[in-house]
Amino acid sequence: MKKLMLDVVVCLFFLAHWAPVSAAQAALDEKAVADFYRGKTVTLLVGHSAGGGFDTYARLIGRYLGKYVPGIPNVIVTNMPGAGTMISVNHMYNSGARDGTLINSFDGGIVTQQLYKTSGVKFDLNKLFYLGAPDSFLYVMAVTKQSGVTKFDEILGTNAKEVRIGAVPNIGIEHASLLIRNVLGGKVKVVSGYKGTAEIRMAMKSGEVDSVITDWGSLRVTNSPDFESGEWLIFVQLTEKPIEDLPQKNVPLIYQYTKDDEQRELFRMGIINPNQYARPYVLPPGVPAERAEALRLAFERALADEKLLAEAKKAKLGINPLSGDRIRDLISAGLSMPPKMRDKLRPILLPGG
């Protein structure tokens, strides 16, 4: 009994003397973070071109992020497009600021480049600090009416019609096109080399290409009038489940065209699962822990801001946040793909590699 009472006294002593110290330390840490960020500018570096979905999300988040960071820094958005966002990630990883003033928004499709150890990879995605993501990708294949093709079935089979699909190298937009061509035998000409979806959409308007495979959330924002007028059609959904708000009825899932379990798994591992980690926001290695955590919390709070959500709804932007931990785990799993599946997907995910 005496020993029990002594233990209780000791516990009470430590609670009385150490709990206030911990609270003071937490306040001191926040003050230190605020002192650092006060008067500074945080840059949101977007790896795709201006005007596309990545840019639209970044500019929305940038308008609200700063007020949730201690010290309330200014937040600006800049674009560094190229190589499917690899240019921006290489820049961030090797020469970008590591003090918490640089955040990168890249395309999760570049996981493939690290998976296959391509020469252009000058980064390690496992070493980044993940803030989270505002949403996932839900891919659809959009085709212009002027292409003369009216449904997905028409690009399959012996009398198939050809569709020219615009693509960005190294990422899901290209991977999805190659999956349709290589796995299903679709009559597809992949026109790669574009820096972002904004350029591809312009090419569709001019007749340079017929199609793009990209996120419905982005197309809903940028091209709703084209779908409403019938000038653009949705041929197929490259998703696990049907998208609820498509302007067309009865748009088939890609799984309806796969012939066996292996084909379904190739689409699942090659594009549908990776689309879950398609829009990560990250910090480079070496950012002080308290600043990284402050930015993570600010990112989380910004995406829950009522004004941001109202603005997103008005702009038809989906906000379905994924945590930084969840994104990190998904990317780690993608980089640990079973060797057999990795080898089968190599010609698709790394064409010419």
Q: How far apart are CA 264 and CA 266, in angstroms?
A: 5
Interhelix angle 2-37/289-302, nearest 10 degrees: 80
Please provide the DSSP assignment of 312-329 as one string.
HHHTT-----EEHHHHHH
Beta strands in the chain (DSSP E): 41-46, 74-79, 102-105, 129-133, 139-144, 163-166, 188-191, 211-215, 232-238, 281-283, 322-323
Q: pLDDT averaged over consecutive 10-residue blocks of the chain (353 residues)?
A: 44 40 48 97 95 91 98 98 93 98 94 91 98 95 98 96 94 93 97 91 97 93 94 97 93 97 94 91 97 97 98 91 94 91 92 72
Q: What is the pTM of this model?
A: 0.76
Please report, as a single letter, which amino acid is at residue 255.
Answer: Y
Written as six digits, the tokens of 187 are 């009559």
Written as six digits, the tokens of 263 are 């084909």
pLDDT of residue 3: 44
Ranges of H-type helices in 117-240: 172-182, 197-206, 216-222, 224-229
∠ at Cα 108 (102, 112), nearest 5°?
120
For the beta carbon of residue 175, count every other beta carbon within 10 angstroms. 26
Which of 138, 103, 161 is closest to 292 using CA atoms? 103
Cβ 167 vs Cβ 267: under 8 Å: no
Please report, as a single letter, which amino acid is at residue 176.
Answer: A
pLDDT of residue 182: 96
Cβ 263 vs Cβ 182: under 8 Å: no
pLDDT of residue 195: 85
Cβ 253 vs Cβ 246: under 8 Å: no
Please provide the DSSP assignment of 31-65 as one string.
HHHHHHHTT-EEEEEESS-TTSHHHHHHHHHHHHH
Give Cα separations from 89 to 41, 83, 117, 138 (angstroms): 19, 10, 15, 23
Give the CA count within 13 Å in the CB-facing half-sphere of 84.
24
pLDDT of residue 353: 63
Cβ 42 vs Cβ 74: under 8 Å: yes
Which of 330, 294, 350 is closest to 125 using CA atoms? 330
Task: Classify strands 211-215 and 139-144 as parallel, antiparallel or unpaired.
Answer: antiparallel
